[in-house]
Every structure is written in structure tokens, then in C-alpha cells.
Amino acid sequence: MGGGGQLTEPGEPGSRRAGGVYTWEEVQSHSSRNDQWLVIDRKVYNVTKWAKRHPGGFRVINHYAGEDATEAFTAFHPDLKFVQKFLKPLLIGELAATEPSQDRNKNAAVIQDFHTLRAQAESDGLFRAQPLFFCLHLGHILLLEALAWLIIWLWGTSWTLTRIPTFLFLFPLDAGRMLESHFAQGASANWWNHRHFQHHAKPNIFSKDPDVNMLHIFVLGDTQPVEYGIKKIKYLPYHHQHQYFLLVGPPLLIPVYFHIQIIRTMISRHDWVDLAWSMSYYLRYLCCYVPLYGLFGSVALISFVRFLESHWFVWVTQMNHLPMDIDHEKHHDWLTMQLQATCNIEKSVFNDWFSGHLNFQIEHHLFPTMPRHNYHLVAPLVHALCEKHGIPYQVKTMWQGIVDVIRSLKNSGDLWLDAYLHK
């Protein structure tokens, strides 16, 4: 074992003074919620108490406890020098010289090549955002909203005519983008980030990715259905082959309940700035539409819009993930892990616009801080690197992506039923 003679500092379980030398075996033994070590660039850090104050949420750090977090750390922090000042007090030592830089037999060549690719993308300026792009994007959202209101104001509030502004509301809003998310949708960017960071950190990994934690509604992938079938757990009140209809037709109240939960979360965290920005959307909406539809009609309209919008969001995001590998933690390197969990929808003017560039889901996952208008520029580099190392890089048509979601859900249901009846 490494240099284990250091004194434990008060309040930090298992903490040692900086200067210790450790093996991967010792680092991996500190992976519980109350005792967390991780490695970044061969330096060992005790993050047990810091995890609770981590701006990205404590669960993201929990998911890397006892592991090499170098690639995830680099991916999530655009200003590494700034973050280093928070790491320094947490430093307890480094890996022994005889220890490899990667844990659990990860492919060092893949990691090095991906590091080189990222450095090239940085030198090419692909991580620099273009303010004009995002201003124009937000502007076109507000323009569509203004057009929707103008149609109703000029020609009346009949439900036949209301269909037009309803679909104008639905044009791509890209839920995960700060000001757009707050002002154009009434969502909480902070709440979204805390949840979505986990998805990016460990995509399609049970117990770590909240997006695949859907038991009692869906069983996903090839592993989970068999496990729960053997346990004789009835995960659905419906016939197994009909589970995909839950994706096609969720209850009308789900989007309303979803937003109520967001508001409750912001209040419990005393996140008043976030709450104020989110409420600005609803205040603006009610001021515009209550005079036209009345209070009840305005609530009915926004509920219907959220109902339709939830379908757009689920299909656009999950066609890139649900048909992919969904399993327990395998401790792959960053590139391999993301490519097993994501695929792309082919590039076109419509697909780029309709999905908010989430058709480049692979690049979105590999480089979560890269502005989306640059995904198409880095994609050929990523594709070439995957070909070099024999890592599948999947690109589908949008129609194929939709069909694959239904096919994967049906396959999971069949696996569950077979295990439930025969194992």
C-alpha cells in the first residue's frame, strides 16, 4: 500500500496530509458516500466534505469516488486554472510511481489520443462561443412567440385558430441553455444542470444516470429487464409489449407536475434568483394571454403546449440514448463510455434546427462545454479517432432513431417477460 502513515485531519474521514503515496487499490477502497477519494492527473484528493459544496452537485463527485476522474474533470470545467484553487486544500498525495495513470485497465492509447484531439479543438477555438449565434437563436424564439400572440390578437381565440400559435410555441427551444431555459421556457437552469451533469458524467449507467432510472415505468436495455424479471418484479401495470405507448402518450398532468416539482426544488434550496428568472416566463405568458383567453383558458393552453413539448423533448433526446447500451458501471475511459451510450442523427438544416443541435449527441457528450454551433466542426475528428481504435460511431436518420426507440423498448419488454415467466 502507499504511504499510509499520515495523520487524519479532523472532520475528513480517511483524510491524510498532502504528500502521501497511494496505489489504485487504496484509492478504490475510498468510494463510499462518507469517504470519497478520487484521482485527477495522478494527484489524489479527498473530496468527502467538498462534495456537499460542489457547484455541480454532490452526486457527480459521488459517481467518481474511488476512480480516475481526470477526463470528467477536464470535460466539465472550462477554466481549469480557476478550479485548481479549490482542489489544492483537498490534495492528500499522489499515485505511486509504479502505478499506471489509468485505473481498471482503461486503454491508455485511447485516453492519450482523445486528450490530443481535445487540445486540437481548443487550439482551433472550438470552445469559444459566438454570442451572435445565441442572440439570434433567442431572438427567433421570441419572434415566434410574438407571432403566435399577434395571430390570436388579430383573428380571435377559436380553438381551430389556436392550433397555429400552439405549434409556434413548440418550435425548438433547447431546454438546457441558461437564459433561453429561464426566460423562454420557465425552467430552472440550475435544477437542470444538477440533473443533467449526472447524465453526462455516467450516461446510461444504472444508479448513476437519472435518465435511465425509470423503474416501475420502463425497464431499459438488455440487462435490467432480465434482472427484474428473475426477481419477479412487475414493473408495469400494462402488457409488456405496450410499454412504448407510455412514451407516445403520457398523461396530460405530467408536464404540469414536472414544473411544480422544479419550483418546489428551487424554493427548498432558497434559489431565489433562479426562481425569479423562471417566474418571469409565466408572468410574461399570463400578461399576454389572460386578456385573450381568461385565466382558465390560459392555463389550459400552456398545459397543452407543455404536453406536446414533453413529447418533442423525449423523442429528440432519447432517440440518441435508449437504443444504445444501458448497463451497470463498466469503468470505461471517457471516449468509449460516451460512444457506447450515444449516437448521432444525421446532419441537415432541419435536423440541426429541430433538435437544437442535439443530433450531434456524441460530440455534445464528449465536449459538454463546447458551444453547439461547433459540433459539426469537431465531428469528423471524433469519427476518425473512433475508426482508429475500432469504436463504433453510429449515425442514423431521424426516422430510424424514432423506430429504434420503439424497437428497443419492445425488446426490453420481451426480455423481462421471458425472464419473469421462465427463469
pLDDT at 174 over 60: no
Phi, psi (5° rounding) for residue 240?
-55, -35
Q: pLDDT tens, 95-106? A: 999 999 999 879
Q: What is the C-alpha to C-alpha distance for residues 236 and 415, in angstroms, rounded to an integer? A: 14
Q: What is the C-alpha to C-alpha distance for residues 374 and 257, in angstroms, rounded to an integer? A: 35
Say which range, 152-156, 278-282, 341-345, has the weakest mean pLDDT. Answer: 278-282
pLDDT at 224 over 70: yes
Show the CA angle centred on residue 299, arms to residues 294 and 304, nearest 5°. 125
Taking residues 108-122, what's their average pLDDT? 96
Say which range, 4-8, 294-298, 385-389, has the weakest mean pLDDT. Answer: 4-8
Higher pLDDT, 325 or 84: 325
**Residue in 370, 412, 386, 416 with CA at minimum distance from that of residue 124:** 370
Question: Checking phi first, is residue 283 left (phi over 0); if not, alpha (psi -120 to 50) or beta?
Answer: alpha
Taking residues 396-418, what's their average pLDDT? 89
Most confident of 15-19, 251-255, 269-273, 368-372: 368-372
Phi, psi (5° rounding) for residue 419?
-70, -35
Place of cell 438546457: 176
Higher pLDDT, 48 or 249: 48
Beta carbons of 93 and 44 less than 8 angstroms apart:
yes
Write out the H or E segment, with its range, that includes residue 39: strand 35-40
pLDDT at 115 over 50: yes
pLDDT at 380 over 60: yes
Cell digits for 192? 437542470
The pLDDT score that the predictor gives to residue 375 is 97
The pLDDT score that the predictor gives to residue 236 is 52
Higher pLDDT, 218 or 337: 337
The pLDDT score that the predictor gives to residue 235 is 59
275 CB neighbour count, 10 Å cutoff? 19
Write out the H or E segment, with its range, that includes residue 46: strand 43-46
Q: pLDDT tens, 302-351? A: 878 777 777 777 788 889 999 999 999 999 999 999 999 999 999 999 99
Q: Which residues pair with 31 in a beta bridge?
A: 36
Cell digits for 399? 426516422
Higher pLDDT, 71 or 249: 71
**Average pLDDT in the chain:** 81
Most confident of 17-31, 170-184, 298-312: 17-31
Q: pLDDT tens, 60-70? A: 999 999 999 99
Residue 346 contacts by C-beta under 8 Å, 6 or more apart in sequence? 359, 395, 396, 397, 398
pLDDT at 80 over 50: yes
Q: What is the C-alpha to C-alpha distance for residues 277 and 261, in angstroms, rounded to an integer? A: 16
Place of cell 400552439: 166
Beta carbons of 290 and 239 less than 8 angstroms apart:
no
The pLDDT score that the predictor gives to residue 369 is 93
Q: What is the C-alpha to C-alpha distance for residues 30 and 26, in angstroms, rounded to an integer? A: 7
Domains and CATH numbers, the chain: 20-100 (3.10.120.10)
**Residue in 83, 1, 9 with CA at minimum distance from that of residue 46:** 9
The percentage of the chain sitting over the pLDDT mark of 90, rounded to a whole number, equals 40
Beta carbons of 281 and 185 less than 8 angstroms apart:
yes
Model confidence at 225, pLDDT cuts 50, 70, 90, reads confident
pLDDT at 237 over 50: no
Helices (H), 158-222: 159-170, 178-185, 189-201
Instruction: Say which DSSP state 6 is in.
Output: P
The pLDDT score that the predictor gives to residue 11 is 38
Phi, psi (5° rounding) for residue 95?
-70, 145
Higher pLDDT, 380 or 196: 380
134 CB neighbour count, 10 Å cutoff? 17
Taking residues 160-164, what's their average pLDDT? 78
Give one DSSP letter per residue of 313-373, joined into a string: HHHHHHTTTTTS--BS-----HHHHHHHH--EEPP-HHHHHHHTTTT-HHHHHH-TTS-GG
pTM, rounded to two decimals: 0.82
